[in-house]
Amino acid sequence: MSLFSISFADATVGITGADDRALEFLSFLFSDIPGIGDDDEIAYTLSLTYDPDTNTHRFSDGSRTIHRGELNAGFAAHVYDHVIYHLLDHADNGIALHAGAVAANGRVIILPGISGAGKSSLTAWLTSRGCSYQSDELIYISATAADMVFYFSRPICLKAGSVPLLAELTGSVAPQPVLIDNFGAVVPHRLVNPEFFAVQNAPDIILFPDFQPTAEPRLEPIGAARATTMLMGCLVNARNLEQHGFRQIIRLAESTTAFRLSYRSFEDAATCLSPLFAAA
Amino acid sequence: MDINKIIYLNDDYFIERIDGEITVYHPTLTTSVYLNETGALIWELCNGERSVADIISILSELYPESAEQIETDVKEIVIKLVEHKIGFLK
């Protein structure tokens, strides 16, 4: 029985798995997560095992089956949900935000938003335009490690409605290796931009994506009070933090330039964002 | 809305004033509210003794040229505070 460990945000989750396919799947999902394979103390253990009778894999938490089936995009979603939950369950040394993140021209841009806000799609599109992908889902800003930031650099996870973007993002109608099913697609970010370098810098820009199919596109600067309010809605580990992380979020909002991007298409986004990327 | 009711603010919230605007977070309900400069002004007038009508009257005296918009703005902010359970009318 092999143990696959994922370390992020001061915690390590272990997944036990017996077969090569399971380990290959986990490597696909977590190979760029900082700290992978460290011998840190395991905070929680899940398991991924193969059932030869049904030719499926079972993802479980103790005796409880979380999901059973083929190792595809839908299966990956269950794995990510539970691994992230257990990584952050006791995280109290920093703020964890639902946010995409890219680096460009020496600056880091984070794209906070709740599930369905469009951050993965916009992050993927920015990556395809030359930004260095950092995450499409989660960042952790440590309060103790000199404000070091950790980006959850998993493959880009597109929901079903965004899968048609794949050809535009990767230049191929059938890029490999990609997990695609009715749930969506899990796309290695190097297929979108092979230039990847992990950063640990604090964000320089906060960009709140707001996809509005009928509204005029606009890049609107927003003040720290409004940014704080919006960021609190994206905070994952509030319950672990003093004052629910309110003061830490305020510090982030006061020290970082923030915008809201209303856009109808990626062409709109490109037009609105060009001044931002031009300024150094 | 009965504008003769008094607007009370609940006790359990965190608040920060930044550049004339306000962000409020309710830890129990985990809701947050943003108030722009106008909303911040209205917030400061919610002292647990003034009715919605009182607040409209005070602001209309201060800004007579905006009297018509003031009633709309005050009601919108009060509704926002009540919907997010930051405040209540009584």
Q: What pLDDT is stored for residue A173 in this prediction? A: 74
Tokens representing A1 are 């029985």
- Is the residue at B64 inside a domain? yes
Q: What's the total number of domains in chain A?
A: 2
Specify whether A235 is located in the same domain as A257: yes
Specify whether A70 is located in the same domain as A116: no
CA A74 to chain centre: 16
Specify whether A71 is located in the same domain as A146: no
Specify whether A104 is located in the same domain as A82: no
Of B14, B21, B30, the CB nearest to A225: B21
- Is the residue at B52 inside a domain? yes
pLDDT < 70 regions, chain A: 34-40, 145-147, 279-280
Answer yes or no: do B32 and A224 touch at CB < 8 A: no
Distance from A180 to chain B by nearest Cα, in Å?
35
Sheet of A56-61, strand order: A2-8, A11-17, A44-51, A56-61, A64-69
Mutation site, B32, B37, B80, B81, interface A, largest A CB count within 10 A: B32
Q: What pLDDT is stored for residue A280 in this prediction? A: 46
Q: What pLDDT is stored for residue A2 in this prediction? A: 84
Parallel, antiparallel or unpaired: strands B87-89 and B7-9: antiparallel
How many Cβ atoms are within 10 Å of A113's Cβ, its own excluded? Answer: 24
Specify whether A114 is located in the same domain as A217: yes
Distance CA A120, CA A128 (A): 12
Domain boundary among A67, A88, A109: A88
The ipTM assigned to this model is 0.91
Number of Cβ pairs < 8 A linking chain A and chain B: 51
Specify whether A102 is located in the same domain as A133: yes
Q: What percent of chain A has pLDDT over 70?
A: 96
Of A226, A250, A254, the CB nearest to B34: A226
Domain boundary among A88, A113, A128: A88
Specify whether A136 is located in the same domain as A235: yes
Contact list in A for residue B23 (CB cut-off 8 A) is 225-226, 228-229, 232, 250
Q: Which CATH number characterizes residue B17's domain?
A: 3.90.930.60
Q: What's the total number of domains in chain B?
A: 1
Distance CA A25, CA A4 (A): 11
Distance CA B22, CA B35 (A): 5
* Beta-bridge mates of residue A95: A141
Specify whether A53 is located in the same domain as A76: yes
Specify whether A115 is located in the same domain as A17: no
pTM of the predicted protein model = 0.92
Q: For A17, phi and psi rounded to 5 degrees?
A: -150, 145
- Is the residue at B42 inside a domain? yes
- Is the residue at B1 inside a domain? no
Answer yes or no: do B14 and A254 touch at CB < 8 A: no
Specify whether A84 is located in the same domain as A206: no
Specify whether A155 is located in the same domain as A248: yes
Specify whether A6 is located in the same domain as A76: yes
Answer yes or no: do A250 and B16 touch at CB < 8 A: yes
Q: Which domain holds residue B37?
A: 7-89
pLDDT < 70 regions, chain B: none
- Is the residue at B49 inside a domain? yes
| Tens digit of each residue's pLDDT (9 = 90 or more) over A233-251 | 999 999 999 999 999 999 9
Distance CA A129, CA A192 (A): 9
Answer yes or no: do A250 and B18 touch at CB < 8 A: yes
Q: Which domain holds residue A236?
A: 94-278
